[in-house]
Amino acid sequence: MKLHDFFNVLNRTSLVVQIFIGLIAGIAVALLWPSAAGKIEILGQIFITALKSVAPVLVFILVTAAISNYNSNQPTHIKPILILYLIGTLGASMVAVAASMMFPSELVLAQAADAANAPPSNVAEVMKSLVLSVVDNPVKAIANANFIGILAWAIGLGIALRHASDTTRQVVNDLSDGVSWIIKCVIRFAPFGIFGLVASTVASAGLDALLGYVHLLMVLIGSMLVVAFIVNPLIVWWKIRRNPYPLVFQCLRESGVTAFFTRSSAANIPVNMNLAERLGLDHATYSVSIPLGATINMAGAACTISVLTLAAAHTLNIPVDFGSALLLCLVSAVCACGASGVAGGSLLLIPLACSLFNIDTNTAMQVVAIGFIIGVIQDSAETALNSSTDVLFTAAADIAAKQQA
């Protein structure tokens, strides 16, 4: 087969199929040729680095362009999407609390975690960190991928540029188109990135380290699956009043799979943007709601914080009534937006959650350590749920608005 013919076949094959082939190939290489898995890991590292490097610029330019070129006669649907984010997080908390009480988990609290990443000690500290992120230096925010600060500056600059000349706003719009084109090029390499990521993950981690935490993982992943396949579809059905599963499956397949292996909501923003464009969603809406969702939509984090905190309480024989547990998990999930974008951000909120049950810091940090042990699966599943829900709820709100128009 000539190179030209190969590229023709590649262009005719959908990206989802290509990613699936990369997924299967990565597993096969890890199982049949483990020594090679470490060498092809570079493909995954390049892909993640490319996504992470372009995501801050993408968010800044797209949000600025969307707001500066916003037509007041063309309403966006940000408020309904925020409500869906809130309902989704609430639903995830309820599912996780119910699952933890129905199937209580026992933890082996043997060793303390490394406290190098000091977790927030109280809600006030989380809110302080959040406010400081908002007023961060814009160049520093882009360089460090501080998406809260990027959103704040992009919104401010977009509002200021609404009063600029048509030529200036057109330049910003052209920049937005240029960055979007770069994103499409990066996403075309997703199959190779997934191939490298899967091969290295399966070869290095395996399943041995996870066998001791099977029950905890089953409760945690089970909660996330219930949210993904029951709670979220119910929310989407309530919004669009038709069969939600085609949309749910498409978002999980095209956004969740990529997010599962990149383990970064920020890195998955370009993937979600691309999916939203192919779904025909309103550009002015999704260019704001998807970056915002990557920062504040924390259904997966709500599950993680709830399950691990209540597992610690059960292990220590601390009685927890449903109301106080739900309140605790809601507070923790809301505070989790202050730790978004940080690796293991939801895990760092566990000591804060544990403190409301009077669980000491040393014990709480042991729970965090367990979270990092199962993080290969926990963090991947959490990110997949968080990121796929961003585009799912954006699509639901957009479809509902078009139905009412």
Contact 299, 311 (CB under 8 A): no
Task: Look at residue 130 in the predicted model and tell me its pLDDT.
Answer: 67
Mean pLDDT by 10 residues, the chain (405 residues): 58 69 81 79 80 76 75 67 88 88 77 43 61 82 77 84 83 82 77 79 59 80 94 94 93 89 79 90 86 82 87 83 69 57 63 73 74 75 90 92 80
The C-alpha atoms of residue 323 and residue 333 are separated, in whole angstroms, by 15
CA-based end-to-end distance of the chain: 51
Domain that holds residue 84: 3-404
Task: With beta carbons less than 8 A apart as the criterion, state whether 273 and 183 touch.
Answer: yes
Q: Distance between CA atoms of 55 and 378, rounded to whole angstroms?
A: 23
Residue with tokens 């895990």: 347
CB 141 within 8 A of CB 63: no
Number of domains within the chain: 1
d(CA 329, CA 306): 5
In the prediction, which pLDDT does 237 show? 95
Read off the pTM: 0.70
Look up the CATH number of the domain holding residue 318: 1.10.3860.10
Q: At what angle do helices 283-296 and 78-102 cross, to 10 degrees?
A: 30
